[in-house]
Structure formats: C-alpha cells, structure tokens
A and B are shown apart, each in its own frame.
Chain A
C-alpha cells in the first residue's frame, strides 16, 4: 500500500519507473540507428543495381594495369587492385612514420629552445613556431615541391658527392647495399653487440643504484656497436656490396632513389606539425612547478640532468594526450600527397583505382576505414604509453 511500485496500478508504475524508461528509450534509439543504417545500405544497393553500376569487392582481384612511381613491395602493372591498395597503404605509412619521427625530434628541440634563457635561441624558436604553424600545410607542401625541389638541376647536371650520391630534379640517388661475403659474420657481431649493450646498461644501472657511481653508458654502447661489427667486417671481408647509381640513357639506374614528392611531403608535414609539438612541449614543461627545478638543483643535479631526469618525465604526462592529436593530424594531412602526385593511399587507391573501376563507394569506404584504423591504432598506442608514464599514486 505504501509502495507505489506494487498495487493495482502496475502499468502506470512501469511507465514512470526511470529504469524501465531509460531502457525503453535506449532500445528505441538503437532500433532507430539500426533501421537508418539498414535503409542507407539497402537503398544504396538498389540504386547501384538500378543504375547498372557494378558493386562489390570483386574488383580487388582484377589486374590494375598502371604503373606506380614508388612502391615498397614488388609491384608490376599486371598486379591486382588489391596489391595497389597495399602499395598505397605502405606509402602512406612510410610518410606518416617518417613525418612523426622527424616532427617529434624537431618539436622537442624547438619546444625546449623556446624556454631557453638565451634570448636569441628562444626568439628564433618563437619565430619558427609562429611562421610554420600559421601557414596552411598544403601551401608548405607546394613550397617545398615547386619552389625548392623543382629548382634542382636535370639528371645530366646532377649535384654529386664522390660519384656515389647524386641529387637532381628526379630525386636523391643513393647506393644500395646487397649481401657481400662478410654479411653473416657482420650481422652476428651486430647482434652480439646489441645484447652486450643491454647487459651493459642493466649493469650500469644496478651499479649506480648500489654505489651511486655513474658509468658512461652511451660511450660504452657506441664503442660496442662500432668495434665488434668493425672487427667482424675486417676479418670476414666486406659485409655489403654497394650498387652505385649510374646515368644510363635518360635517368640514373641502380641504387636507391628518394623521390622529391616524398621529400617535399615529409618535410612539409614534419615542419608544420613540429611547430605544434613545440608548443605542446613548452606548455608541458611550464606545467611542472618551478619548485621541482629548485629541488633538483639543491640535490646537486646539473641543468641537463634536471631537464632529463626531473622535468621531462613529469612534463610527459601533460604532453602525451595533445601529442597524440598531432600525430593523428599528421597522418590525416598526409592525404594532401595527391596534390603533388606522391602515390599515397588517397592518390593511388581513392583516386586512380576509383577512377579506373568507377566503384566510388567501395574504394572510399575502404580508404576511410583504413584511416580510421591507423588513427585508432596510434591512439591506442599513445594511451598505453600515457598509462605507463602516469603518476603512480601511493
């Protein structure tokens, strides 16, 4: 009698029960979303069929028949559209990885320089940031591609370095290594050196924690990595046979070529993104209370150590989340490649393949899901790293 949920008016109470209502509304919402999705899918299907446009993913097995400027895997014109997709994807990933790496390095350097007590250094960093983050990335790509790299000489008048490295309007030609007689001993020595380095680092850390004495770890590691493989090469013979690019006919052949499209895109994206990263790094460092610096100084740490051991680790907690966004932006901006003919996923797959097959919906859907997948992977990775360095509360 006192409980409104029981008694004669059961129906009314069901409707007024907030839990039931919440469930009901959620179910209705889900049903509406599913219905809309089904409607879109079904309507697209019937419209495509009615207009006589081929649909489905069978086209991925057809042979492509066109060449691609740069591919990281073997690709010939008789390969399938599916393989073109992989080639484009790898080219996108290549420019993204290079861009992220370079942008991070430049960004951290500029960000730290921005806070330098040296007036000139901090002003130069400020000028860098204000210039590059305020010019649209597409224009920066055009600048590097059309203004800088188009000014290189033709192949026959290449800039050269010791007749092994050549730079011209077609790209940077480098010698490429092949397996020589001493390759295996060299690789084994390198592996041994790597293992020894890990052991050395651990030993040095343990010693420092036990005795407080420091060991010049980086010098030791460098020595190991240079000396051991060096001895192996000296004993067993040359580990690599270098193929030097050679001017035959129209172009250089042999060796590696770094195409100007890749250089322009990587430079523009990393320089642009680095300006944002620099500001993120600056704000991260400034978020660490000055008391931390003073405490570190009073413990006798040198400024370099203070920065590396005290400030940066704490600043990282502030830096990582916005840094993730910048990485995502860089990956997404890499689709501007199409503007200068760099064969990335958008240019080759969502462009050429779409046009050759006419299957807009499928190619665009695949391309969008790929970018989504790349971005989500970067987010996951960065979130994992963020958790790892988060403040452990005791």
Chain B
C-alpha cells in the first residue's frame, strides 16, 4: 500500500504546486495556530527515534522534537499529529505542505538544503553510517565485505555513501533496496543480503528488532557524517526560527541544568540571569519568536531537556543503550552546542 501512498504524495505535490495560489512567507505559523496542532512527519517505525508503542502512542527523539515545538507554541505537548513517512516520501510530503515539520532522522546535506526548497533547523543527533552483519560470516571489518549483498533503504544518503565507500576501497557489492527499513531487516534475517547498512543509531535500533540480536554485530567502521535534524520549508523564516530555537532551548536547558523536574522552581526562584532570561523571568525573549513568555518552561516541563530526551529514548534509559559520544554537550567533549538565549 505504500507505493500507492508514495505515488499519492507525489501526485499531491504536483497538484499542490500547480494549483495553490502563491504561498507567502510566514504562513506556516498562522496555519498551525489556526488549526491548533503541529503536523509532524516522522519515520515509519524506528525504535528510539520515532515509533509507536503497544497503545499506539508515538515515542522517540524525533517525536519529542515535534512535541517540544507544540509545547513551546501552545503550551501543550500533545497538540501534535504524526504522519509516518518512508524515506522516499518524506521530502515531497514536506514540500507539498502535508506536514509542517519533517523530524525523521534526515541527514543534512547541501543539495537537500539548497536545492529542494528545504531548511535544516539544526542537529538533533550526530550520526554516522555503519554495517550490521551476522556473526556467522566471521567478518570483523567493513574492508572484508568485498562481493557482499547489501540491504539498504531506498532514497537515503546511505545508498550514496555505501557506493562511495565500496568504490573508494576498490570493492564490489550488490545493492538490495527496499522502501521500508523493516523490509531491509527482514531481508537480512532471511539471508537475501549479507550486510545491512544504515546510520549507526538505526542499526542498534534495528538489531533489537531481530529474532536473535546476539547473533549480529555492528562493525566498528563509521563511513560517513550523518548530522540528523528537523527540516522545514524554505522561505518561511518565522516558522524556521521557532523550530530552530526550540532545539537550541533544549540544549541550553541541559547546559544550564534545567530539567523537567526543577524547571518550575527555577522559573520562580533562580538567580542565574541566563536561566531567568530563558525561562521568561527576565526580558521578553519569546516575543521575538512570536511565542508565549513562558515557552521554555512549558517546553522543558513537558519534554525535558536535550539530555533527558536522549537518555529516555536512545540512551541508558532505553533498550538501545547508545552512549552520548558526539551527542554530549560541547563542554563534555561532544558537539551539542547552542547559541545563547538573550
């Protein structure tokens, strides 16, 4: 049914771009406020990033970004609706206006940023591409993969990095491409391919979906830079600013030691000027963003700071148990750094 859907998405894009009157900048925010919720494009099922639990609730880091935007904007993190999208459908869905934010482990590249009418608002997760193989093959390094059949998800940067890596190392491979990441996992398990390649975070997530996760290992090589982040339509700066500063606020909150547990206390009693500015006790910094004065309080109260989000979804508090690594704060040896709110 997904083909039908992706064709539909494309057809809708064509129709939307053809029929809609000239879209003017700044309409996304007005439209979102008017309809009363944020429409958020997420993945079609990736533990830790965006997936549904047994009761149909969406969970994950990508999901939390959208909840955060809703919390900042409406003061209510539940005012968001999710559209699961395959890798192939995602950009057309955003371009056509079907979703307001695309928060779907999407890699920031120049061609996507400049050529597709999209803007990346920041980096929620610094990732890199790796390989998942069966232990039975006895492979310990990606350099031993010459001649392997490799399962990949179609329409991703993964597909391009894979070909670059094998070409650069003078090796051959057979690409086996599927639209959904679930299908790639099933194909690996069935033996249609020898290796599954994807962003490392996804590999950990996909590994726990296997019947016997212990029989598979993630190879040590990381063959690419994959900064993943939320995407919005280009030319709508107001909306872009809101999504971008929601991310920055999450990181700043962690840096300033603001957590979902203490945020309300700090908002009343903190003497730290950085904290006071961010939480609206001093100045009117939400106003420039067209957000309520206490937007950051609602944001951190309802989704936590960046560190809480990370640990809850992909870190030690989750099944994935991924180390912070590159995603630690800049003052803890990582890359997560946010400009100040002032």
Q: B19 contacts A40, CB within 8 Å?
A: yes
Fill in one digit per residue for A60-94: 1 if any B CB lies within 8 Å of its CB, else 0.
Answer: 00000111110000000110000000000000000
Interface string of B183-209 (1 = CB under 8 A from A): 100000011101000000000000000
Which chain A residues border B13 with CB–CB below 8 Å? Answer: 360-361
Contact of B91 among A47, A350, A358 (CB under 8 A): A358
Which among A53, A169, A354 is the interface contact of B192 at CB below 8 angstroms? A169
For B, the interface residue count at a CB cutoff of 8 angstroms equals 58
Residue of B3, B162, B190, B192 near A338 (CB, 8 A) is: B3
B170 within 8 A of A: no
The yes or no answer to B272 lying at the interface (CB within 8 A) is no
A360 near B88 with CB under 8 A, answer: no
Instruction: Give every chain B residue within 8 A of A338 (Cβ-Cβ).
Output: 3, 6, 179
Q: Shortest Cβ distance from A142 into chain B, in angstroms?
A: 11
A52 to B91, CA, bound (A): 14
Cβ-neighbour of A341 out of B21, B87, B177 (below 8 A):
B177
Residue contact B177 to A251, C-beta cutoff 8 Å = no
Q: With contacts A67-B163, A67-B173, A355-B155 known, is A250 near B14, CB below 8 A?
A: no
Give the residues in chain B near A270, CB-CB below 8 Å. none
Question: Given A66-B175, A338-B179 in contact, is the A47-B146 Cβ separation under 8 Å?
Answer: no
- Given A47-B20, A67-B175, A350-B10, do A339 and B163 touch, yes or no (CB 8 Å)? no
Cβ contact within 8 Å between B149 and A351:
no
B224 at the binding interface (Cβ < 8 Å): no
**A65-B163, A169-B192, A346-B3 given; A354·B88 CB < 8 A:** yes
| Alpha-carbon distance between A356 and B149 when the two chains are bound, in angstroms | 22
- In the bound complex, what is the Cα–Cα distance between A46 and B18 (angstroms)? 9
Smallest beta-carbon distance B192→chain A, Å: 6
C-alpha gap A40/B18 in the complex (Å): 5
A51-B23, A68-B175 as given contacts; A364 in contact with B14, CB under 8 Å: yes
A355 / chain B contacts, CB cutoff of 8 Å: 87-88, 90-91, 154-156
By the criterion CB–CB under 8 Å, are B116 and A358 in contact?
Answer: yes
Contacting A356 at CB < 8 Å: which of B3, B10, B147, B155? B155
- In the complex the two chains form, is A335's CB within 8 Å of B176's CB? no
How far apart are the CA atoms of A250 and B138 in the complex, in Å? Answer: 11
Complex contact A248–B183 (CB within 8 A) = no
Q: How far is the CA of A69 from the CA of B167 in the complex (A)?
A: 16
Q: Is the CB of B17 within 8 A of A44?
A: yes
* Bound CA span A44–B10, Å: 14
Given contacts A44-B17, A253-B147, A336-B3, contact A69 B176 (CB under 8 A): yes
A312 to B252, CA, bound (A): 81
Bound CA span A248–B115, Å: 42
Interface presence of B2 (CB below 8 A): yes
Q: Please name the residue on chain A nearest to B139 by beta carbon.
A: A250
A residues 23-61 touching B (CB-CB < 8 Å): 40-41, 43-44, 46-48, 50-54
Instruction: List chain A residues, Cβ under 8 A from B10.
Output: 350, 354, 360, 364
Task: State whether A52 and B235 are in contact (beta carbons under 8 Å apart), knowing that A249-B146, A364-B11 are contacts in the complex.
Answer: yes
> What is the minimal beta-carbon distance from A253 to any residue of chain B, in angstroms?
7
- For residue B92, which residue of chain A has the nearest CB? A360
A169 to B22, CA, bound (A): 52
> Which B residues between 129 and 162 are near A, CB-CB below 8 angstroms?
137, 145-149, 154-156, 159-160, 162
With both chains docked as a complex, state the minimum distance between the C-beta of A66 and any C-beta of chain B, in angstroms: 4
Min CB distance, B16 to chain A, in Å? 8
Residues of B within 8 A of A346 (CB): 3, 7
A42 to chain B: closest residue by CB: B18
A282 at the interface (CB under 8 A from B): no
B154 touches A352 (CB 8 A): yes
CB-CB under 8 A from A170, the residues of chain B are 149, 174, 192
**Residues 80-135 of B at the A interface (beta carbon under 8 Å):** 87-88, 90-92, 95, 111-112, 114-118
Q: Is the Cβ of A47 less than 8 Å from the Cβ of B154?
A: no
Instruction: Decide yes or no whether A150 CB sits under 8 A from chain B.
Output: yes
- 1/0 per residue, CB under 8 A from A, across B7-45: the answer is 100110110011111110000000000000000000000
A326 within 8 A of B: no
Indicate whether B164 reaches chain A with its CB closer than 8 angstroms.
yes
Quick check: is B234 within 8 A (CB to CB) of the other chain? Answer: yes
CB <8 Å contact, B177 and A352: yes
Are A65 and B160 in contact, with the CB atoms below 8 A?
Answer: yes
B92 touches A354 (CB 8 A): yes
Would you give 25 A-B contacts (Cβ < 8 Å), ordered by A?
A: A43-B21, A44-B17, A51-B235, A53-B116, A54-B116, A66-B175, A169-B191, A169-B192, A251-B148, A253-B147, A260-B192, A338-B3, A340-B178, A341-B177, A351-B6, A356-B159, A357-B111, A358-B111, A360-B14, A360-B92, A361-B14, A361-B17, A364-B10, A364-B11, A365-B14
Chain B interface residues (CB < 8 Å from chain A): 2-3, 6-7, 10-11, 13-14, 17-23, 87-88, 90-92, 95, 111-112, 114-118, 137, 145-149, 154-156, 159-160, 162-164, 167, 173-179, 183, 190-192, 194, 233-235
- Additional A-B contacts beyond A169-B190, A341-B179, A346-B3 (8; CB < 8 A): A52-B234, A53-B117, A77-B164, A150-B190, A335-B3, A351-B6, A360-B92, A364-B10
